[in-house]
Amino acid sequence: MHGPDPSCLYPMAGFPRAVFLKNFITRPNIQVGDFSYYDDPNGAERFEERNVLYHYEFLGDRLIIGRFVAIAHGVRFIMSSANHLMDGFSTYPFNIFGNGWEEGFDPAAYNAASRGDTVVGHDVWIGTQARIMPGVTIGDGAIIGAYAVVASDIPPFSIAVGNPARVIRQRFDKETVARLQDIAWWNWPQEKITRNLDAIRGRDIAKLEQAV
C-alpha cells in the first residue's frame, strides 16, 4: 500500500467531515494540489461556495493551493473582488447595481486594483477560522494560527498568528529551510513518500536528503 488515493472524496473512513479538496473544485480560477484537505462538520464539500469569497472570473485572480495543505474548519479566503475602489470620493460600488449607475464606469479600474493571485504553498497548515486576505502568498511549510488574519506574505516554514498576522518564529534555521525547499518532498512520487514517512515526519535533514 502506498497511502490513500488522491482521487478519493472522503479519505478517512467514517469521518465524512474531511475531504480531499481537489475533488470538489469546479471553478477554473481555483487550483488545489493532491492530498490537500479541508475539514468541516457542516459540509466540507461546499468549500467553493462558503470559504472562497468575492471570487469572480472577470477579475482574473486565482486561488492556488499546493499539495499536502491542511485547512481547518471555517478558514476563509477573501479574494480581490471584495475590495472597493478608493481613488474617488465614494467607495460605494454604484456600477454593480446597474439601471444606469453603470454608465461611465471603467471596468479596467477594478483590474488595476486587483492584488493578484492568492497562493498557499505546499505542506501548509491553516488553523481554524483564519482569514486569508487578497493577493498574499503563504510559503511552503508555514503554519497559520487559529483566527489569524493574513494580510501580507508569510515566509516559508514560519509560524504566524494574530490580527494582522505576524511571524512569531521560524520553524527551522535558514539553512534547513533552504535544504527542505530543495528536497521538496511534496513533489515526490507517492511510493517514495510512503517509503520515507519516518524521514518526512522526523528531524534529521540528512536522512531526508538521502531518501530513495
**Residue 178 confidence (pLDDT):** 97
**Residue 122 confidence (pLDDT):** 98
**Residue 196 confidence (pLDDT):** 96
Sort 180 into a burial class: Cβ within 10 Å, 0-12 / 13-18 / 19+: buried
Distance (Å, whole) CA 185 – CA 176: 14
Q: Which of 2, 55, 73, 84 does the annotation list as catalytic? A: 84
- All residue ranges of the chain with pLDDT < 50 are none
Predicted confidence (pLDDT) per residue in 40-51, tens digit:
999 999 999 999
Dihedral angle over CA of 49, 51, 57, 63, nearest 10: -140
**Per-residue cell: 35:** 492530498
Predicted confidence (pLDDT) per residue in 135-162, tens digit:
999 999 999 999 999 999 999 999 999 9
**Residue 81 confidence (pLDDT):** 84
Strands (E), the chain: 18-20, 30-32, 37-39, 52-53, 63-65, 70-71, 76-78, 118-120, 125-126, 131-132, 137-138, 143-144, 149-150, 158-161, 166-170
84 is catalytic: yes
Sort 55 into a burial class: Cβ within 10 Å, 0-12 / 13-18 / 19+: buried
Distance (Å, whole) CA 115 – CA 107: 15
SS3 148: coil
* pLDDT, the chain, mean: 94
**Per-residue cell: 34:** 493532491
